[in-house]
Amino acid sequence: MENERSLVVFENHKIRRFFDEKKETWYFSVIDVVSALTDSVNPRDYWYKMKIRVQTYDGIELSTICRQLRLKSPDGKLRQTDCSDVQGLLRIIQSIPSPKAEPFKQWLAKVGYERIQDMSDPALSLNRAREYWKQHGRSEKWIQQRMMGQETRNKLTDYWKDHEIKGQDEYAILTNIIHQEWSDISVKQHKQIKNLKTQNLRDHMNEAELIFTALAELSTRQIAESVDATGLDENALAGKI
């Protein structure tokens, strides 16, 4: 499970996958997923014809949501293989006419409906988050601290947005600076300690870690506001003071 190239099993079907450390994203073999959901005797040919069909009738080129990665083939050699992240896979699954794919399609419809509800009533998303944490055994005290910390985080990112911080890379750089100031380790190192990959680090923090994170982000925003920090360099300095 922790190798960058490893297998995950779905209904006795082995799905090859690759973890991109830089993007912190899992990529899965499309052909293996097609094989698992269709039981095709020739999943490679099924995938080839499926791409033609989708492009012809839907006007979408599925290859654009894939990337070629070297994965181990049945003969033990590393070969270029069409792979996609979870978002891309879910789009591909929508075009697979198979009973095994139907539960995924129904789940997507449910999630889409819930997202529309959240847009009209944001409190619903907070309730769903609370229920999610409860299901994972979190205490009410931890949940309250997590939600308060998220509010503090949102105020900080709102400030950054209004003061020329652009793109996910700059947000990540500033977040990492703040994290290192209170923890003495980077976000990536902290995730490695907790044996996390794509999971949200804050969802796996203890109460003390949540408190330190919130205090660090609160003080960073207050310092940035006091000097009207603008741009990456000035906001990075505010995170280090």
The 8-class DSSP code of residue 51 comes to H
> Rounded to an integer, what distance in angstroms lies between the CA atom of residue 29 and that of residue 83?
4
- Say yes or no to pLDDT of 35 above 80: yes
pTM of the model: 0.76
For 187, the token pair is 């976000």
pLDDT for the residue numbered 61: 94
- Say yes or no to pLDDT of 3 above 60: no
> Rounded to an integer, what distance in angstroms lies between the CA atom of residue 158 and that of residue 202?
19
For 101, the token pair is 């794919």
Rounded to 5 degrees, what are φ and ψ at 9?
Answer: -105, 130
pLDDT for the residue numbered 2: 44
Task: Identify the bridge partners of residue 78 per DSSP, sorted by sequence position.
Answer: 72
Parse the chain into domains and list their residue ranges: 5-98, 138-240
Matching residue, tokens 């297998």 = 7
